[in-house]
């Protein structure tokens, strides 16, 4: 499994988001190839197609797909399960994405 954690230093939520991600990986007993990518400029944001900080990609998929095509080193808004807006993805969002990737891996191995 490949996990990319993209963040902007300017946005203060990234430390807590990374802590949540690491906790979920530990709980799910997954040791992915974890890449941490810092995005600080508009050019870097466009290159990475970065919709805001923090962004977590699991096997190439955003854990919370967005229609936002404005790429910038800004904080990202997550709409939580209860409708609130937060600068952080919820633990459930991260967990669901990791579990889905685990299932995909299992079925890929099975079908070989």
- Residue 75 interacts with another protein (CB under 8 A): yes or no: yes
88 is an interface residue for another protein by CB under 8 A: yes
Which of 77, 91, 92, 105 contacts another protein by CB under 8 A? Answer: 77
Q: Is 42 in the site for another protein (CB under 8 A)?
A: yes
Provide DSSP, the chain. -EEEEEE-TTSTTHHHHHHHHHHHHHHTT---EEEEEE--SHHHHHHHT--SBSEEEETTEESS--------SSBPPEE-TTS-EESS--HHHHHHHHHHHHHHHHHHHHT-
44 is a contact residue toward another protein (CB under 8 A)? no
CB 77, min distance to another protein, A: 4
């Amino acid at each position: 499994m490949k996990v990319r954690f993209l963040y902007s230093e300017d946005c203060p939520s990234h430390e807590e988001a990374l802590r949540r991600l690491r906790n979920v990986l530990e709980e799910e007993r997954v040791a992915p190839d974890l890449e941490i990518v810092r995005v600080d400029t508009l050019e870097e944001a466009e290159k990475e197609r970065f919709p805001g900080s923090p962004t977590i990609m699991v096997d190439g998929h955003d854990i919370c797909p967005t229609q936002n095509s404005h790429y910038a080193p800004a904080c990202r808004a997550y709409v939580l399960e209860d409708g609130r807006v937060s600068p952080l993805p919820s633990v459930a969002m991260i967990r669901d994405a990791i579990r889905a990737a685990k299932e995909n891996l299992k079925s890929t191995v099975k079908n070989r």
